[in-house]
Amino acid sequence: MLKTAVVGVRGVGRGHVQALTRHARANLVAVADIDTTAASALVEAVDARVCASLDELLDDVDGLDAVIIATPHHLHAPMSLAALERGLHVYVEKPIAIRISDADRMVEAADRAQRVLAVGHQYRTYAGNHRLKQIIDSGAIGQVQRVVWQWLETRPESYYDRDPWRSSWAHAGGGVLLNQASHDIDLLCWLLGPPEEVSATLMNRGHRHEVEDTAVATVRFASGALASLQFSTWDRCLNYRQIAGESGSILWQDERNANVPDRPEVFRIGRYERPLTELIGRKDAALTGRAVPAWEDVDCGQVASPSLLDSFIAAALDGGIPITDGRSARVTTELICAILLAGIRREVIRLPVDRDLFDELFDDLIAGRARLLSSS
């Protein structure tokens, strides 16, 4: 059994606590939260210790194997580093960190300690996304050429008033990109491989806070795929993906909140009779040649993937790499840092991101020396 503690138990941490109390291969031995009253109430019926801080947890709880960190974003790096240095396996909620230089330190610390570092990008485990990856990897639509990806939602001021940490560069590290769209950006990197070049425009279209609520970016991936991305919390609810390949296209659309796992069980795939190279690229291609997809629905209901928590616990107990490990989550955060750099400096950014340049930009954002475009 993996003796595990959860740090930060109000929001998503509550779900981790509940999952651990009924897990076949892990025990909940302790929780830590600055709100000890709420933490005590949560674990009332369980034999788990309540600590007021991570330091207390690390100093006073014996025999701990692993920790799940579900605190505001700015605490992910220092807390993960402290736990890894004590030899614990770490599952940290997304994003891995708010500075790419911190993500580097975390990956190095996990390697040094030979401990598992998993990151909470669980969308990779959802049936629809799993099926999407299987189809792309199988070559069914050929080499991916273009992607249009939108994640739009309505986030009222009351959401930010309830959790003020989500509103500031210092505590959240960004707005829609890190908080919500990091799941979609993680999927993009998981599906398409490493990004190479980014341009972007970022705005706060009307929220009272300082971080971006809208991001529009163009990304060129090393594979040659080009992606147009739109993310906003100042919009209606829409999750739209078009993934166009050499031999076919995928269309995915739903108007539900994509943050819940009741994802669409069906998306559409359209295959061309002949690949585009034959229709367009050959000298003898007919002048009227058109790629006409034959559409069919893909039912995703039957695809099974272990949960992220299960994969973390298995990697810690048995060895191996969790579904979302620190290295691959770092790619996601590096793309987000590149979009922030591109959007705020109004430059085309090539990856790998210059760590010093990003730290400088981030210090400027926190100090108010750099700002977003604003609608007003």
Ligand X SMILES: NC(=O)c1ccc[n+]([C@@H]2O[C@H](COP(=O)([O-])OP(=O)(O)OC[C@H]3O[C@@H](n4cnc5c(N)ncnc54)[C@H](O)[C@@H]3O)[C@@H](O)[C@H]2O)c1
Binding site for ligand X (CB under 6 A): 7-13, 32-35, 53-54, 70-73, 75, 93-94, 120, 122, 163, 179
Nearest residue to ligand X, by Cβ distance, number only: 11
- Provide the minimum distance between the beta carbon of 83 and ligand X in the complex, in angstroms, as a whole number: 12
Q: Are 243 and 209 in contact (CB under 8 A)?
A: no
- Provide the minimum distance between the beta carbon of 371 and ligand X in the complex, in angstroms, as a whole number: 23
- Provide the minimum distance between the beta carbon of 15 and ligand X in the complex, in angstroms, as a whole number: 8
Tell me which H or E stretch contains 243. Answer: strand 234-245
Q: Which is nearer to ligand X, 42 or 361 (CB)?
A: 42
Q: Which is nearer to ligand X, 34 or 294 (CB)?
A: 34
Q: Which is nearer to ligand X, 75 or 291 (CB)?
A: 75
Q: Which is nearer to ligand X, 7 or 303 (CB)?
A: 7
What b/e string do you get for 92-127 counting C-beta neighbours within 10 Å, with b at 16 or more? bbbbbbbbbebbbbbbebbeebebbbbbbbbbbbbb
> Any idea of the CA torsion for 221, 153, 303, 222, to the nearest 10 degrees?
0
- Provide the minimum distance between the beta carbon of 289 and ligand X in the complex, in angstroms, as a whole number: 44
Interatomic CA distance for residues 108 and 11, integer angstroms:
29
- Beta strands at 349-350 and 195-204: parallel, antiparallel or unpaired: antiparallel
- Provide the minimum distance between the beta carbon of 349 and ligand X in the complex, in angstroms, as a whole number: 24
Q: Which is nearer to ligand X, 139 or 164 (CB)?
A: 164
Structure tokens given for 68: 């799940």
Residues near 319 by Cβ (< 8 Å), separated by ≥ 6?
Answer: none
Q: Do you find a cis peptide bond into 261, omega within 30 degrees of 0?
A: no
Q: Which is nearer to ligand X, 174 or 245 (CB)?
A: 174
Interatomic CA distance for residues 258 and 183, integer angstroms:
9
Q: Which is nearer to ligand X, 81 or 135 (CB)?
A: 81
- Provide the minimum distance between the beta carbon of 43 and ligand X in the complex, in angstroms, as a whole number: 13
Q: Are 214 and 164 in contact (CB under 8 A)?
A: no
- Provide the minimum distance between the beta carbon of 229 and ligand X in the complex, in angstroms, as a whole number: 19
